[in-house]
Amino acid sequence: MNFFDFWKQSRLVRKRELKGLIFVLPFIIGFFAFIFFPMMQSFIYSFNDLKFDGKVSLEFMGIENYKRAFTVDTDFRKLLLDSLSSMTVNVPIILIFSMLVAVFLNGKFPGQPVFQIIFFIPVIVSAGIMPNLISDDIIRRTIINAASATGEDTSLFNASLVGDLFMRMGLPNGFIEYIIYAITNILEVINSSGIQILVFLIALKAIPRSLYEASQIEGATAWESFWKITFPMVLPQTLVNVVYTVIDAFSNNVNPVMQTITDYNFSSFQFGYAASLAWTYFFIIIAVLCFFVLLIKQLMKHYN
Protein backbone atom coordinates (compact mmCIF):
# COMPACT_ATOMS: atom_id res chain seq x y z
CA MET A 1 0.00 0.00 0.00
CA ASN A 2 1.41 3.39 -0.83
CA PHE A 3 1.58 6.45 1.32
CA PHE A 4 -1.45 8.11 -0.25
CA ASP A 5 -3.73 5.11 0.39
CA PHE A 6 -2.50 5.03 3.91
CA TRP A 7 -3.86 8.49 4.67
CA LYS A 8 -7.15 7.85 2.85
CA GLN A 9 -7.99 5.15 5.37
CA SER A 10 -9.99 5.81 8.48
CA ARG A 11 -8.23 7.03 11.58
CA LEU A 12 -8.86 3.77 13.40
CA VAL A 13 -7.27 1.59 10.74
CA ARG A 14 -4.36 3.99 10.52
CA LYS A 15 -3.87 3.73 14.25
CA ARG A 16 -3.86 -0.04 14.07
CA GLU A 17 -1.25 -0.02 11.36
CA LEU A 18 0.96 2.35 13.25
CA LYS A 19 0.65 0.01 16.23
CA GLY A 20 1.70 -2.86 14.02
CA LEU A 21 4.71 -0.91 12.88
CA ILE A 22 5.68 -0.21 16.48
CA PHE A 23 5.47 -3.93 17.21
CA VAL A 24 7.90 -4.94 14.48
CA LEU A 25 10.16 -1.93 14.59
CA PRO A 26 12.48 -3.03 17.43
CA PHE A 27 13.15 -6.29 15.68
CA ILE A 28 13.62 -4.72 12.28
CA ILE A 29 16.04 -2.09 13.57
CA GLY A 30 18.06 -4.67 15.48
CA PHE A 31 17.96 -7.12 12.64
CA PHE A 32 19.21 -4.71 10.04
CA ALA A 33 21.79 -3.08 12.28
CA PHE A 34 23.34 -6.17 13.84
CA ILE A 35 22.58 -9.01 11.47
CA PHE A 36 21.76 -7.88 7.96
CA PHE A 37 24.18 -4.98 7.64
CA PRO A 38 27.20 -6.96 8.93
CA MET A 39 26.29 -9.72 6.48
CA MET A 40 26.30 -7.28 3.59
CA GLN A 41 29.60 -5.83 4.79
CA SER A 42 31.15 -9.27 4.80
CA PHE A 43 29.79 -9.81 1.30
CA ILE A 44 31.76 -6.77 0.19
CA TYR A 45 34.81 -8.01 2.11
CA SER A 46 34.66 -11.29 0.23
CA PHE A 47 35.63 -9.45 -2.97
CA ASN A 48 38.49 -7.61 -1.32
CA ASP A 49 41.75 -8.07 0.42
CA LEU A 50 41.11 -6.70 3.85
CA LYS A 51 43.51 -5.25 6.38
CA PHE A 52 42.25 -4.44 9.82
CA ASP A 53 44.11 -2.55 12.51
CA GLY A 54 41.39 -0.61 14.24
CA LYS A 55 40.44 0.72 10.81
CA VAL A 56 39.51 -1.26 7.73
CA SER A 57 41.41 -0.87 4.49
CA LEU A 58 40.10 -2.66 1.43
CA GLU A 59 41.84 -3.62 -1.75
CA PHE A 60 39.46 -4.76 -4.46
CA MET A 61 40.42 -8.06 -6.05
CA GLY A 62 37.26 -9.23 -7.81
CA ILE A 63 36.43 -12.90 -7.54
CA GLU A 64 40.02 -13.82 -6.65
CA ASN A 65 38.96 -15.12 -3.21
CA TYR A 66 36.25 -17.33 -4.66
CA LYS A 67 38.62 -18.60 -7.33
CA ARG A 68 41.04 -19.58 -4.61
CA ALA A 69 38.32 -21.39 -2.67
CA PHE A 70 37.24 -23.45 -5.63
CA THR A 71 40.44 -24.06 -7.57
CA VAL A 72 43.45 -23.66 -5.29
CA ASP A 73 42.16 -24.62 -1.84
CA THR A 74 41.56 -28.34 -2.20
CA ASP A 75 41.14 -28.76 1.55
CA PHE A 76 38.11 -26.53 1.61
CA ARG A 77 36.42 -28.39 -1.22
CA LYS A 78 36.93 -31.65 0.57
CA LEU A 79 35.64 -30.29 3.87
CA LEU A 80 32.62 -28.87 2.11
CA LEU A 81 31.75 -32.18 0.48
CA ASP A 82 32.29 -34.05 3.74
CA SER A 83 30.04 -31.79 5.75
CA LEU A 84 27.43 -31.84 2.99
CA SER A 85 27.24 -35.60 2.88
CA SER A 86 27.24 -36.05 6.64
CA MET A 87 24.46 -33.49 6.80
CA THR A 88 22.11 -35.19 4.39
CA VAL A 89 22.58 -38.35 6.41
CA ASN A 90 22.37 -36.79 9.88
CA VAL A 91 19.38 -34.49 9.52
CA PRO A 92 16.83 -37.27 8.92
CA ILE A 93 18.35 -39.39 11.71
CA ILE A 94 18.13 -36.54 14.21
CA LEU A 95 14.55 -35.75 13.20
CA ILE A 96 13.38 -39.35 13.41
CA PHE A 97 15.17 -39.88 16.71
CA SER A 98 13.75 -36.74 18.32
CA MET A 99 10.25 -37.50 17.06
CA LEU A 100 10.55 -41.00 18.49
CA VAL A 101 11.76 -39.78 21.86
CA ALA A 102 9.07 -37.07 21.95
CA VAL A 103 6.33 -39.62 21.25
CA PHE A 104 7.69 -41.83 24.02
CA LEU A 105 8.05 -38.95 26.45
CA ASN A 106 4.48 -37.92 25.70
CA GLY A 107 3.20 -41.19 27.15
CA LYS A 108 2.73 -41.93 30.81
CA PHE A 109 5.31 -44.06 32.59
CA PRO A 110 7.21 -43.96 35.86
CA GLY A 111 9.85 -41.23 36.04
CA GLN A 112 8.56 -39.40 32.97
CA PRO A 113 9.54 -35.90 34.23
CA VAL A 114 13.05 -37.10 35.10
CA PHE A 115 13.50 -38.49 31.61
CA GLN A 116 12.34 -35.25 30.12
CA ILE A 117 15.01 -33.36 32.02
CA ILE A 118 17.69 -35.85 31.10
CA PHE A 119 16.98 -35.47 27.41
CA PHE A 120 17.65 -31.79 27.63
CA ILE A 121 21.02 -32.15 29.34
CA PRO A 122 23.10 -32.17 26.13
CA VAL A 123 21.74 -28.76 25.17
CA ILE A 124 22.94 -27.33 28.45
CA VAL A 125 26.27 -29.10 28.56
CA SER A 126 27.16 -28.16 25.01
CA ALA A 127 26.21 -24.47 25.26
CA GLY A 128 28.31 -21.35 25.65
CA ILE A 129 31.65 -21.79 27.31
CA MET A 130 30.94 -25.26 28.62
CA PRO A 131 32.69 -26.97 25.71
CA ASN A 132 35.70 -24.71 26.18
CA LEU A 133 35.78 -25.38 29.88
CA ILE A 134 35.46 -29.05 29.29
CA SER A 135 37.88 -29.19 26.38
CA ASP A 136 40.63 -27.42 28.27
CA ASP A 137 41.34 -30.02 30.79
CA ILE A 138 41.06 -33.42 32.21
CA ILE A 139 37.30 -33.31 32.60
CA ARG A 140 37.05 -33.59 28.89
CA ARG A 141 39.34 -36.55 28.80
CA THR A 142 37.37 -38.13 31.58
CA ILE A 143 34.05 -37.59 29.89
CA ILE A 144 35.23 -38.64 26.50
CA ASN A 145 36.94 -41.67 27.87
CA ALA A 146 33.90 -42.59 29.86
CA ALA A 147 31.52 -41.94 27.01
CA SER A 148 33.58 -43.81 24.48
CA ALA A 149 34.28 -46.64 26.87
CA THR A 150 30.61 -47.25 27.54
CA GLY A 151 29.33 -45.76 24.29
CA GLU A 152 31.46 -47.70 21.89
CA ASP A 153 31.00 -51.03 23.54
CA THR A 154 27.27 -50.70 23.76
CA SER A 155 26.76 -49.28 20.31
CA LEU A 156 28.99 -51.83 18.62
CA PHE A 157 27.08 -54.51 20.40
CA ASN A 158 23.81 -52.97 19.32
CA ALA A 159 24.93 -52.42 15.77
CA SER A 160 25.95 -55.99 15.11
CA LEU A 161 22.87 -57.27 16.85
CA VAL A 162 20.48 -55.06 14.95
CA GLY A 163 22.33 -55.56 11.68
CA ASP A 164 22.02 -59.29 12.11
CA LEU A 165 18.34 -59.01 12.84
CA PHE A 166 17.69 -56.90 9.76
CA MET A 167 19.69 -59.25 7.56
CA ARG A 168 17.44 -62.06 8.63
CA MET A 169 14.41 -59.93 7.90
CA GLY A 170 15.75 -59.53 4.37
CA LEU A 171 15.87 -55.73 4.39
CA PRO A 172 17.86 -53.96 1.65
CA ASN A 173 21.56 -53.48 2.37
CA GLY A 174 21.54 -49.69 2.01
CA PHE A 175 18.83 -49.41 4.63
CA ILE A 176 20.72 -51.69 7.02
CA GLU A 177 23.88 -49.63 6.61
CA TYR A 178 21.91 -46.48 7.33
CA ILE A 179 20.46 -47.91 10.53
CA ILE A 180 23.88 -49.14 11.65
CA TYR A 181 25.36 -45.74 10.95
CA ALA A 182 22.59 -44.20 13.04
CA ILE A 183 23.26 -46.54 15.94
CA THR A 184 27.02 -46.12 15.92
CA ASN A 185 26.56 -42.35 15.89
CA ILE A 186 23.93 -42.39 18.57
CA LEU A 187 25.92 -40.14 20.91
CA GLU A 188 26.21 -37.43 18.31
CA VAL A 189 22.55 -37.80 17.38
CA ILE A 190 21.44 -37.61 21.01
CA ASN A 191 23.60 -34.57 21.60
CA SER A 192 22.00 -32.61 18.82
CA SER A 193 18.37 -33.52 19.51
CA GLY A 194 17.56 -31.60 22.71
CA ILE A 195 15.66 -28.63 21.29
CA GLN A 196 13.98 -30.74 18.63
CA ILE A 197 12.56 -33.12 21.24
CA LEU A 198 11.18 -30.15 23.16
CA VAL A 199 9.54 -28.65 20.08
CA PHE A 200 7.99 -31.97 19.06
CA LEU A 201 6.77 -32.52 22.60
CA ILE A 202 4.88 -29.21 22.62
CA ALA A 203 3.35 -30.09 19.26
CA LEU A 204 2.30 -33.54 20.49
CA LYS A 205 0.70 -32.13 23.61
CA ALA A 206 -1.31 -29.69 21.50
CA ILE A 207 -3.02 -32.47 19.56
CA PRO A 208 -6.61 -32.77 20.81
CA ARG A 209 -7.19 -36.02 22.63
CA SER A 210 -10.63 -36.34 21.09
CA LEU A 211 -8.96 -37.21 17.78
CA TYR A 212 -7.27 -40.23 19.32
CA GLU A 213 -10.41 -41.24 21.14
CA ALA A 214 -12.40 -41.10 17.94
CA SER A 215 -9.86 -43.15 16.03
CA GLN A 216 -9.72 -45.66 18.84
CA ILE A 217 -13.46 -46.12 18.68
CA GLU A 218 -13.14 -46.64 14.94
CA GLY A 219 -10.74 -49.45 15.79
CA ALA A 220 -7.49 -47.88 14.60
CA THR A 221 -4.24 -49.33 15.97
CA ALA A 222 -1.58 -47.17 17.61
CA TRP A 223 0.51 -47.48 14.46
CA GLU A 224 -2.35 -46.26 12.28
CA SER A 225 -3.25 -43.37 14.51
CA PHE A 226 0.41 -42.29 14.52
CA TRP A 227 0.49 -41.97 10.74
CA LYS A 228 -3.07 -40.65 10.38
CA ILE A 229 -3.13 -38.22 13.32
CA THR A 230 0.19 -37.61 15.05
CA PHE A 231 2.43 -37.33 12.01
CA PRO A 232 0.31 -34.88 9.99
CA MET A 233 -0.43 -32.81 13.11
CA VAL A 234 3.24 -32.27 13.94
CA LEU A 235 4.35 -31.52 10.37
CA PRO A 236 4.50 -27.74 10.95
CA GLN A 237 6.83 -28.34 13.89
CA THR A 238 8.78 -30.79 11.77
CA LEU A 239 9.45 -27.88 9.47
CA VAL A 240 10.67 -25.84 12.43
CA ASN A 241 12.90 -28.69 13.46
CA VAL A 242 14.29 -29.23 9.99
CA VAL A 243 15.32 -25.61 9.80
CA TYR A 244 16.75 -25.71 13.30
CA THR A 245 18.66 -28.96 12.74
CA VAL A 246 20.22 -27.80 9.50
CA ILE A 247 21.23 -24.50 11.04
CA ASP A 248 22.57 -26.12 14.17
CA ALA A 249 24.60 -28.68 12.27
CA PHE A 250 26.04 -26.23 9.78
CA SER A 251 26.77 -23.34 12.08
CA ASN A 252 28.03 -25.40 14.98
CA ASN A 253 31.48 -24.29 16.05
CA VAL A 254 32.84 -27.83 15.96
CA ASN A 255 31.83 -28.17 12.33
CA PRO A 256 35.14 -28.54 10.38
CA VAL A 257 34.13 -25.96 7.77
CA MET A 258 33.26 -23.44 10.47
CA GLN A 259 36.57 -24.13 12.16
CA THR A 260 38.43 -23.49 8.93
CA ILE A 261 36.60 -20.21 8.43
CA THR A 262 37.31 -19.22 12.02
CA ASP A 263 40.98 -20.05 11.57
CA TYR A 264 41.30 -17.92 8.46
CA ASN A 265 39.49 -15.09 10.20
CA PHE A 266 41.13 -15.06 13.62
CA SER A 267 44.42 -16.93 13.28
CA SER A 268 45.81 -16.02 9.87
CA PHE A 269 43.73 -12.81 9.57
CA GLN A 270 42.74 -13.41 5.97
CA PHE A 271 39.42 -11.67 6.51
CA GLY A 272 38.49 -11.33 2.86
CA TYR A 273 39.15 -14.97 2.14
CA ALA A 274 37.27 -16.06 5.27
CA ALA A 275 34.30 -13.98 4.13
CA SER A 276 34.31 -15.58 0.69
CA LEU A 277 34.40 -19.05 2.28
CA ALA A 278 31.51 -18.08 4.56
CA TRP A 279 29.43 -16.91 1.62
CA THR A 280 30.16 -20.02 -0.41
CA TYR A 281 29.16 -22.10 2.57
CA PHE A 282 26.06 -19.97 3.08
CA PHE A 283 24.73 -20.66 -0.41
CA ILE A 284 25.35 -24.35 -0.03
CA ILE A 285 23.43 -24.45 3.25
CA ILE A 286 20.55 -22.63 1.58
CA ALA A 287 20.46 -25.30 -1.10
CA VAL A 288 20.40 -28.08 1.51
CA LEU A 289 17.73 -26.34 3.53
CA CYS A 290 15.56 -25.72 0.47
CA PHE A 291 15.75 -29.41 -0.32
CA PHE A 292 14.50 -30.44 3.12
CA VAL A 293 11.88 -27.69 3.35
CA LEU A 294 10.42 -28.56 -0.04
CA LEU A 295 10.26 -32.18 1.05
CA ILE A 296 8.25 -31.31 4.16
CA LYS A 297 6.06 -28.87 2.22
CA GLN A 298 5.24 -31.68 -0.22
CA LEU A 299 4.25 -33.90 2.70
CA MET A 300 2.06 -31.14 4.13
CA LYS A 301 0.32 -30.70 0.77
CA HIS A 302 -0.22 -34.41 0.60
CA TYR A 303 -1.98 -34.40 3.97
CA ASN A 304 -4.06 -31.32 3.24
Partner 1 sequence: MSKIGSKSYRSVAGNIVVFLFLLLIALFMVLPMVFIFSNAFKPLSELFIFPPKLFPQNPTFDNFINLSSLLGDSWLPFSRYVLNSVFITVIGTAGNIIISSMAAYILSKKNFKGRNLLFQLVVLSLLFSSVVTAIPNYIIMTKLHLINTLWAIILPLLPSSIGLFLMKQFMDQMVPDTLLEAAALDGAGENRIFMQIVMPMVKPAWLTLLIFSFQGIWGTTGGVFIFDENLKTLPTALSNIVSGGIARTGVSAAVSLIMILPPITVFLFSQSNVMQTMSSSGIKD
Read off the DSSP letter of residue 32.
I
Q: Minimum distance between the CB of residue 96 and partner 1, rounded to whole angstroms?
A: 14
Residues in the chain: 304
**What is the footprint of partner 1 within residues 131-190 (CB under 8 A)?**
132-134, 136-139, 142-143, 145-147, 149-151, 154, 186-187, 190
Q: Which residues pair with 208 in a beta bridge?
A: none
Least distance (Å) from partner 1 to the CB of residue 301? 16
Please state, in angstroms and rounded to a whole number, the distance separating the CA atoms of residues 93 and 99: 10
How, if at all, do strands 48-53 and 55-60 pair?
Answer: antiparallel
What secondary structure letter does DSSP report for 97?
H
Phi, psi (degrees; rounded to nearest 5) at 9: -70, 165
- The Cα–Cα gap between 260 and 47 comes to 19
Among 8, 59, 128, 172, binds partner 1 (CB under 8 A): 128
Per 3-state DSSP, the chain is made up of helix, strand and coil in percentages (nearest 5) of 80, 5, 15
Please tell me the distance from the alpha carbon of residue 166 to that of residue 162, in angstroms, as a whole number: 6
Residues 3, 11, 117, 168: which binds partner 1 (CB under 8 A)?
A: 117
Q: Judged by CB under 8 A, which stretch of 74-82, 104-112, 159-167, 170-178 contacts partner 1?
A: 104-112
CB of 6 to partner 1, least distance (A): 11
Of 120, 88, 87, 89, residue with least CA distance to 102: 120
Least distance CB 174 / partner 1 (angstroms): 24
Does 93 bind partner 1 (CB under 8 A)? Our answer is no
Following DSSP, what letter does each residue of 244-291 receive, concatenated? HHHHHHHH-TTSHHHHHHHIIIIIS--HHHHHHHHHHHHHHHHHHHHH
240-259 footprint of partner 1 as x/- string (CB under 8 A): x--xx-xx--xx------x-
Q: Does 130 bind partner 1 (CB under 8 A)?
A: yes
Q: Where are the alpha helices (DSSP H) in 32-111?
A: 37-45, 64-67, 74-106
Between 2 and 173, name the residue whose CB sits nearer to partner 1: 2
Instruction: Please select the residue that binds partner 1; options are 237, 242, 245, 292, rule is CB under 8 A.
Output: 237
Using the rule CB under 8 A, is 198 a contact of partner 1? yes
Q: Which is nearer to partner 1, 108 or 173 (CB)?
A: 108
Please tell me the distance from the alpha carbon of residue 203 to that of residue 230, in angstroms, as a whole number.
9
Task: Report the nearest approach of partner 1 to the CB of residue 67 (Å).
Answer: 18
In the complex, minimum distance from the CB of residue 261 to partner 1, in angstroms, rounded to a whole number: 5
| 276-295: contacts with partner 1 (CB under 8 A) | 278, 281-282, 285-286, 289
Q: How far is the CB of 15 from partner 1 (least distance, A)?
A: 9
Taking the complex as a whole, the smallest distance from the CB of residue 47 to partner 1 amounts, in Å, to 13
Nearer to partner 1, 115 or 227 (CB): 115
Buried b (16+ CB within 10 A) or exposed e, 33-67: eeeeeeeeebeebbbbbbeeeeeeeeeeeeeebbe
- The residue within the footprint of partner 1, chosen from 83, 93, 98, 122 (CB under 8 A), is 122
Nearest to 233 by CA among 209, 264, 252, 250: 209
Residues numbered 31-70 forming contacts with partner 1, rule: CB under 8 A: 31, 33-39, 41-42, 45, 50, 52, 56
Binding segment toward partner 1, per CB under 8 A, in 73-81, 115-123, 159-167, 170-178: 115-123
Residue 110 near partner 1 by CB under 8 A: yes
